[in-house]
Structure 1
Amino acid sequence: MNLKYRNELKYFINQHQYHIIRQRLKNLVQQDEHVGSNGEYSIRSLYFDDINNKALHEKLGGVRDRSKYRIRIYNKDDKIIHFEKKIKFRDYIAKDKEPLTREVADELIAGNYEVLCDSDKPLLKELCNEMKVNLLRPRVIVDYVREPYVCANGNVRITFDKELRTGLHSVNMFDKNLHCVSAIDNNLIILEVKYDEYIPEYIRIALQIEGLNKQSASKYVICRKYLKTNSWEDY
């Protein structure tokens, strides 16, 4: 497996900071090519965890090297479905992913890992083993709107993630009528900055990174905590 590791910074910002930073970036970066006419797209992820909630507790416990599993779709559509493994190693992150059909995704959501037993893809074989041995299962839906920008210089990707929401009572990520509720203060936006070796100085100045409050800002943990706080689950 040949993974590309990148740097990742995360910050909570408010609406005022968002508008200022966005205006500063306007002539410095380009919009991601996948955005819609409004400059955004929606992301819905279904996160998995094992019987011991390993991913959750490792994140809460500050374990440095860890990984998470999820199924991800865009704009609440099933045309593009990926199973992803997000890996954190030291201060770097990487992502391994494989496409899924809707039929296979539905089986995995139902806990039927047998559909992967004959897969020739290492990541899907790993998923099959995790579901079989460690009882990895769907835990929570994470839903939000992303406004993404890119810069070829430094291979920088800047995203504003808004309206973080989570599903209640269901892990059916394909349900068009799924009831999602806000998991954080609506005034908060998660700013993420990913890059290879460096951030160009003009982008660093525009972002004013040194003046922002760096956070872990795990959307998975935020949504799991919301469900626990509101008595929807135990862990």
Structure 2
Amino acid sequence: MNTAYKDLKFRHELKFIINRHQYYVICQRLRKLIDRDKYAGEDGEYHIRSLYFDDCENSALSEKLGGFRDRRKYRIRIYNGDDQIIHFEKKIKIGDYITKLKAPLTREMYDSILAGDYEVLHQPDKPFMMELYREMKHRLLRPKVIVDYVREPYVCKNGNVRITFDKELRTGLHAKDIFDETLNPVPAIDDHLIILEVKYDEYLPEYIRTALQLEGLRQQAASKYVICCKYLKLNHWEDQ
């Protein structure tokens, strides 16, 4: 594993694209075994909107499409449209393991970044902020696409398991502001398809594996960022 990340805690991540029938069957089993995430609303869900960034060479996109096993992605993420919690995140994948770095942003910092003022990231006492600053200044890291969806999350203490169903995957077309009140995201995949993600530490308890029936599912590289980028590219072609 890259020594630069040796102090970070990495986890396993499995991804699947399932249909509504599979979702209902799996959920019926899970609800009898594990708990809903405490951060979910009364309906058991919450809304996520992310603004993904890429550099001048579109490295995040090309490395994912190229099947690189070691990758990284940068994004700004909010929940339920609220600007009280804004995070700039870096998702790191090393082989079959993932981890995440994140730093809080104020709304003012977010607005500055979107306006092209990256000096708000120049904080020498915060290594991740300085990394973001260098990426912006030297590798021309810039906003690329909005990814929007509804998440239904479940958690289990055994194995530190987190299971999420991401529904209604949408993209903001060519919009770049996640707080844009006029943003009307459009479906990036068929609404009957759902992205199932399973994250865990050292082991996945057998009773959860059985409930998920993982042997009957085909693991897929279901990157929401790539799906939305592909939709935008196709839409651009159709506009020509």
Q: TM-score range by the shorter chain?
A: over 0.9
Indicate if the aligned counterparts of 1:76 and 1:176 stay in contact, CA closer than 8 A.
no
- The answer to whether 1:158 aligns with 2:163 is yes
Measured against aligned partners, the alpha-carbon deviations of 1:184-212 in whole angstroms (never above 9, x if no partner) come to: 01110000000001111110000000100
Determine the structure 2 residue equivalent to 1:193.
Answer: 198
Give me the CA root mean square deviation: 1.2
* TM-score (norm. length: structure 1): 0.97
Q: How many residues align?
A: 233
Measured against aligned partners, the alpha-carbon deviations of 1:92-132 in whole angstroms (never above 9, x if no partner) come to: 00000010001111111222212222352111100000010
Q: For the structure 1 residues 197 and 75, does the alpha-carbon distance in structure 2 shift closer, same or farther, using more than 3 Å as the test?
A: same
- The answer to whether 1:123 aligns with 2:146 is no
- The answer to whether 1:4 aligns with 2:9 is yes
Q: For the structure 1 residues 98 and 232, does the alpha-carbon distance in structure 2 shift closer, same or farther, using more than 3 Å as the test?
A: farther
Indicate if the aligned counterparts of 1:168 and 1:232 stay in contact, CA closer than 8 A.
no
- The answer to whether 1:107 aligns with 2:112 is yes
Q: 1:36 aligns with which of 22, 38, 41?
A: 41
Counterparts in 2 of 1:1-235, with a 5 A limit?
Answer: 2-231=7-236
* Paired-residue identity, %: 69
Structure 2 residue ranges without an equivalent (≥5) = none
**What letter is aligned with 2:177?**
N
Structure 1 residue ranges without an equivalent (≥5) = none
What secondary structure, in the 3-state scheme, does the structure 1 residue paired with 2:50 have? strand
Q: Partners of 1:29 and 1:53 in 2: how far apart?
A: 39
Tell me the CA shift for residue 178 of structure 1.
0.8
What secondary structure, in the 3-state scheme, does the structure 2 residue paired with 1:230 have? helix
Indicate if the aligned counterparts of 2:147 and 2:228 stay in contact, CA closer than 8 A.
yes
Indicate if the aligned counterparts of 1:25 and 1:206 stay in contact, CA closer than 8 A.
yes
Indicate if the aligned counterparts of 1:8 and 1:93 stay in contact, CA closer than 8 A.
yes
What secondary structure, in the 3-state scheme, does the structure 2 residue paired with 1:231 have? helix
Tell me the CA shift for residue 232 of structure 1.
7.1
Q: Partners of 1:148 and 1:232 in 2: how far apart?
A: 36
What secondary structure, in the 3-state scheme, does the structure 1 residue paired with 2:210 have? helix
Indicate if the aligned counterparts of 2:147 and 2:224 stay in contact, CA closer than 8 A.
yes
